[in-house]
């Protein structure tokens, strides 16, 4: 890989991580010179990374400026519909294809993540790692690519549903049920468990939004 391509990839990953971690939130303006200074990358790869993020609808135009995109109610609902189906398929395929080692890792992740209950930010990152592990365990590269795009778009939501009171404990219990179904090689149960998990997360987020409006 050329140095230019490497810098472009690094700039893209750095900006994406900053959005994902909440450093840049929906509505925040991204300026080439500021980003170049923050990340220690020249402006050319920063510009290319911003163009790529705009193409992926993670950034949007506000006049001549680029800002972090935000999702309206309909976009959020559409995203969750797609996520529910794709995640369910990933769990089904994981129940079919996951190696014993991958299943063991999933069990260890759930056990480890229990210690993060009470810290929504840390648990949110761990939650993403857990779901990504299921995606990989599906052993379907095209599904992994689509889910990666979905999860990148999830970063446009300013809050995590895991911040809702009691949601962390319930989500962890749901994760255990998903892994149990995968370990039993029960494809139907694994798929339904994960789809239900996403549905509950969506309902939790809807309640959060309704409370915010109130």
pLDDT digits (tens, 9 = 90+) for 159-182: 677 667 778 888 999 999 999 999
Nearest to 181 by CA among 173, 192, 171, 196: 192
- The residues of the chain that CATH labels 1.20.120.530 are 73-213
CB atoms within 10 A of CB 91: 31
Q: CB of 39 within 8 A of CB of 14?
A: yes
- CATH fold group of domain 73-213: 1.20.120
- CATH fold group of domain 3-68: Arc Repressor Mutant, subunit A (1.10.10)
- The residues of the chain that CATH labels 1.10.10.10 are 3-68
pLDDT digits (tens, 9 = 90+) for 119-170: 888 888 899 999 999 999 999 999 999 999 898 888 887 667 766 777 888 8
pTM of the predicted model as reported, rounded to 2 decimal places: 0.81
Q: CB of 35 within 8 A of CB of 46?
A: yes
């Amino acid at each position: 890989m050329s140095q230019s391509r490497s810098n472009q990839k690094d700039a893209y990953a750095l900006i994406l991580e900053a959005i994902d971690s909440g450093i840049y939130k929906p509505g925040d303006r991204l300026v080439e010179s500021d980003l170049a200074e923050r990340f220690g990358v020249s402006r050319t790869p920063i510009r290319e990374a911003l163009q790529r993020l705009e193409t992926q609808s993670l950034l949007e135009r506000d006049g001549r400026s680029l800002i972090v995109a935000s999702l309206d109610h309909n976009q959020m609902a559409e995203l969750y519909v797609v996520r529910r189906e794709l995640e369910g398929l990933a769990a089904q395929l994981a129940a079919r294809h996951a190696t014993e080692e991958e299943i063991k890792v999933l069990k260890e992740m759930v056990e480890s993540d229990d210690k993060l209950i009470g810290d929504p930010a840390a648990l949110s990152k761990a939650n993403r790692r857990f779901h990504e592990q299921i995606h990989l365990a599906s052993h379907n590269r095209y599904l992994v690519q689509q889910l990666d795009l979905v999860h990148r778009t999830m970063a446009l939501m300013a809050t995590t549903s895991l911040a809702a009171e009691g949601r962390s404990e319930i989500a962890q219990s749901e994760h255990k049920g998903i892994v149990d179904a995968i370990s039993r090689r029960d494809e139907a149960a694994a798929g339904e468990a994960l789809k239900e998990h996403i549905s509950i997360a969506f309902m939790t987020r809807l309640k959060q939004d309704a409370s915010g409006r109130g």
